[in-house]
Amino acid sequence: MLAVENIALEHAELLRFITAGSVDDGKSTLIGRLLHDSKSIFEDQLNAITHTTQRRGMEGVDLSLLTDGLQAEREQGITIDVAYRYFATPRRKFIIADTPGHEQYTRNMVTGASTANLAIILIDARKGVLTQSRRHAYLASLVGIPHLVVAVNKMDLVGHSRRTFERIRDEFMAFTSGLRFDSIRYIPMSALNGDMVVERGDMLGWYEGATLLELLETIPVGHRINLEDFRFPVQWVCRPHTEEMHDFRGYMGRVESGSIHVGDAVTVLPSGQTTRIKEVVTYEGAIERAIAPQSITLTIEDHLDISRGDMLVRTGEHVPRVARECEATLCWLSEQSLDLRRKYLVKHTTRVVKTQISRIDCRVDINTLNHESVETLKMNDIGQVVLKLHQPLLCDSYRRNRATGSFIVIDELNNNTVAAGMIRSGDELN
Amino acid sequence: MSILASDVQERTGTSPDPAAQGNPLPFRHASVKRLNHLDALESEAIHIMREVAAECANPVLLFSGGKDSIVLLRLAEKAFRPGRFPFPLMHVDTGHNFPEVIEFRDRRVRELGERLIVRSMEASIQQGRVVLRSENQSRNAFQSVTLLDAIEEFRFDACIGGARRDEEKARAKERIFSFRDEFGQWDPKNQRPELWDIYNTRVHPGENIRVFPISNWTELDVWEYIARERLEVPRIYFAHMRDVIRRGNGLLPVSHLVQPQEGERVERVMVRFRTVGDMSCTCPVESTASDIAEIIAETATTRITERGATRMDDQTSEASMELRKKEGYF
């Protein structure tokens, strides 16, 4: 049976999502239930956790053990930031970024969320909307996740009460009205019993919406890829120097947003020179048009000096700002706090430039969303800053373009990634 | 099954090598408006390989002749042709490889016209760098020594490998660009945050990065890609008759390394390999899948994980892979 159903996989899309919630909210159980009921768990995995459940003196199968951690984590009682899990249904393939809760939450969630199209926020029906639920929603919104699913879990412990569910939904709605999501859905569920995860169950008959899996399978995959602005950061210049390809000079990279067609007029940034696209080349041969996120090779009509770090954009349309100073929201990830006296490296698309953070405008308290003035940014802080750049960056705002509005900050001394950055344009306040 | 086979046929097109024929027009990309999941995974992997080439001073691609590294080679072709690969290929030869795989490895490298470095564990053993308890013991775990020696010898700062996150829970927590200290060790608690697809490739001299371009692929993705790209794989991936011994939960292939112990009996069974590794610990599975389409059908319905079914060394403890990785294993 499965073999026939799986044929459709080729045509399925890929949905990346993140689960937000602490252990107490039943996150591990939910993921375990999703994997189990969608038949994505293998027999040897099931045997292993059945065995462990019994060894711990419990009955049945504790599905939360499926996401049990590494030896290092078990021994030291810590949880390593992000684990990636994979499952597929006949309709779609899924990548789950599973991030643990607790104190390092901001760092973990921002990391997992950076590639996600959807976030599931778990709420314990007994506890209702907590400070941390608000925090999760804010972070998901900050990183630009388009779709939010609010899973009101443990409905079995509140007598499957419709009123409880609706009260939580209304409270959450009031809070998220100020945040930016394409859609927010609310699902009552019991991950423990499997109600409304994959199967509907019998206890929540008053709920008429989709189960979690139905939603995951059908929600439009809003990659938030900007479809208008062509952005092509040059990764690698291909010059084969062979006899038959003596003059071939191909610019290799990935279409980060928009599309490009043979004959289009393009501008090279930061130099500002213009030319036309001669060929769009792939391994399979030349094509007429390429779209994001295809990795391709471009050749151009003129001999221009183009190298890694340059960006091709379509002439005459909205182009990135060539900037030596930019405003950004930083999420500080390192145990070493931001040092305003030091220089750091910024990696933005394929450019790496030196930077100094010249000003911290404010820190955002992610529990209250209040802005406060601070002297530095510590691990898990989110702040609005101004960067001075030694060479120009080609800046789009993160809101307009996730691919060309994001960057990382690297500590030159120890090579660690110390911050995640999102470029803001002047009129964006949050 | 027959439906599946025709489906594979359709989407792989009619030409095994479109570039070699008169019509270079691709059968997929030209009219595709929306990329499917394999296109998305492929583009991600190409992007990763180009980042390595551009930012690392001296990278190498690890090629074993197994299916995952076969996919890596096709991705490298897509990333760098019409140019040459900006890195050599390297195989860490345990001396316990299946002969069909070594033959395939050498042939594939010749076809590509790229450079292959082979460093063998046999040499490490002779130099006293690896000490085995017995001649026939699994050599998988000891590959790390030979690999780390080769990294030092050639001063490689990046090793591209075919590991996938769906293989094992230690891998599930590993970055795509995975930093290793000067002893080649992985520290799971101290990984660099990896956001969006902006990769931090920086290392100090002596340190290196392991790069896994197909981190986000599953076993099924790999086979679907092999079908779509019409990639050749070693024959031992297809069902064949083989002498095996039942030991533990698995079948072990009889060879000069594996002989029946007392009470064990040699059986001749129709099997295929889901992974190819050290002959002394890589178990085949019973199967009649004789072509790629049948392997895809089998992979889509299998109820046992790839490593659970095929690797005896991963079953010794819950943390086997984690411990090996910390010591520099791939």
pLDDT (tens digit per residue) in A18-51: 998 766 777 778 888 888 887 777 777 777 777 7
ipTM value, please give it: 0.90
d(CA B264, CA A46): 29
pLDDT at B198: 97
Contact: B192, A71; criterion CB under 8 Å: no
Contact: A80, B191; criterion CB under 8 Å: yes
Which DSSP state fits B141? Answer: G
For chain A, positions 1-30, list CB contacts with chain B under 8 A. 2-4, 6-7, 9-14
Q: Nearest CB to B37: which of A3, A93, A407?
A: A93
Given a cut of 50, whether residue A428 has pLDDT beyond it is yes
Contact: A420, B193; criterion CB under 8 Å: yes
Q: How is A253-293 classified by DSSP, letter by letter?
A: EE--BSEEETT-EEEEETT--EEEEEEEEETTEEESEEETT
* Stretch A166-178: mean pLDDT: 91
Q: What is the pLDDT of residues B234-247, one digit of tens each?
A: 999 999 999 999 88
* Stretch B226-239: mean pLDDT: 95
Residue of chain A with shortest Cα separation from B29: A287
Q: How is B199-232 classified by DSSP, letter by letter?
A: ------TT-EEEE-TTTT--HHHHHHHHHHHT--
Q: pLDDT class for B4, splitting at 50, 70, 90? A: very low
pTM comes to 0.88
Residue A180: closest CA among A220, A130, A138: A138
d(CA B289, CA A182): 45
- Computed from CA positions of residues B14, A278, A323, A305, in that sequence, does the dihedral angle turn out positive or negative? positive
Percent of chain B past pLDDT 90, that is, above it, reads 48
pLDDT at B318: 53
Q: What is the pLDDT of residues A371-408, one digit of tens each?
A: 999 999 999 899 999 999 999 999 999 999 999 999 99
Identify whether the C-beta of residue B48 lies closer than 8 Å to the C-beta of residue B211: yes
Which DSSP state fits A197? Answer: T
Half-sphere exposure of A108 toward its Cβ, with a 13 Å CA cutoff? Answer: 25
Contact: A236, B53; criterion CB under 8 Å: yes
Q: What is the pLDDT of residues B98-135, one digit of tens each?
A: 888 999 999 999 999 999 999 988 777 777 777 776 76
Distance in Å, alpha carbon of B135 to nearest chain A alpha carbon: 30
* The token pair that represents B125 in the structure block: 């053993």
Q: Nearest CB to B43: which of A85, A240, A295?
A: A295
Given a cut of 60, whether residue B24 has pLDDT beyond it is no
For chain B, positions 90-149, list CB contacts with chain A under 8 A. none
Choose between A376 and B12: higher pLDDT: A376
E strands, A162-257, are: 183-188, 231-238, 250-254
Between CA B89 and CA B100, with CA B95 as vertex, the angle to 5 degrees is 75
pLDDT at A223: 53
Tell me whether the omega of the peptide bond preceding residue A293 falls within 30 degrees of 0, making it cis: yes
Measured in degrees and rounded to the nearest 5, phi and psi for residue B292 equal: -60, -40
Choose between A100 and A385: higher pLDDT: A385
**Radius of gyration, alpha carbons of chain B:** 20
pLDDT at A220: 81
Measured in degrees and rounded to the nearest 5, phi and psi for residue A346 equal: -110, 130
Q: Which residues of A touch B29 (CB under 8 A)?
A: 282, 284, 287, 290, 294
3-state secondary structure of A220: coil
Three-state DSSP string of B238-297: CCEEEEEEEECCEEEECCCCCCCCCCCCCEEEEEECCCCCCCCCECCEECCCCCHHHHHH
Domains of chain A listed by start with CATH number? 2-218 (3.40.50.300), 232-314 (2.40.30.10), 321-428 (2.40.30.10)
Cβ contacts from A onto B, under 8 A: 213
Look over chain A and give the mean of its residue pLDDT values, rounded to a whole number: 87
Residue of chain A with shortest Cα separation from B195: A111
Identify whether the C-beta of residue A26 lies closer than 8 Å to the C-beta of residue A127: no
Distance in Å, alpha carbon of B150 to nearest chain A alpha carbon: 24
How many angstroms separate the Cα of A292 from the Cα of each of A89, A231, A299, A315? 25, 9, 17, 18
Given a cut of 60, whether residue A12 has pLDDT beyond it is no
What lies within 8 Å, CB to CB, of A145 at 6+ separation is: A18, A113, A116, A117, A118, A119, A181
Q: Nearest CB to B193: which of A111, A238, A287?
A: A111
* Stretch A76-80: mean pLDDT: 59
d(CA A110, CA A90): 30
Given a cut of 50, whether residue A6 has pLDDT beyond it is no
Of A240-244, A419-423, B150-154, the range with the lowest mean pLDDT is A240-244
Q: pLDDT class for B19, splitting at 50, 70, 90? A: very low
pLDDT at B11: 31
Look over chain B and give the mean of its residue pLDDT values, rounded to a whole number: 82
Q: Which residues of A touch B7 (CB under 8 A)?
A: 7, 10
Q: How is A72-127 classified by DSSP, letter by letter?
A: HHHHHT---S-EEEEEE-SSEEEEEEE---STTHHHHHHHHHTT-SEEEEEEETTT
Residue of chain A with shortest Cα separation from B39: A294
Using a CB–CB cutoff of 8 Å, tell me whether B28 touches chain A: yes
Using a CB–CB cutoff of 8 Å, tell me whether B215 touches chain A: yes
Q: Which residues of B touch A254 (CB under 8 A)?
A: 43, 46-47
Q: Nearest CB to A7: which of B3, B26, B203?
A: B3
pLDDT at A288: 95
Using a CB–CB cutoff of 8 Å, tell me whether A335 touches chain B: no
* Stretch A240-257: mean pLDDT: 90
* The token pair that represents B98 in the structure block: 């299946």
Q: pLDDT class for B146, splitting at 50, 70, 90? A: confident
Block residue for tokens 């991936």: B237
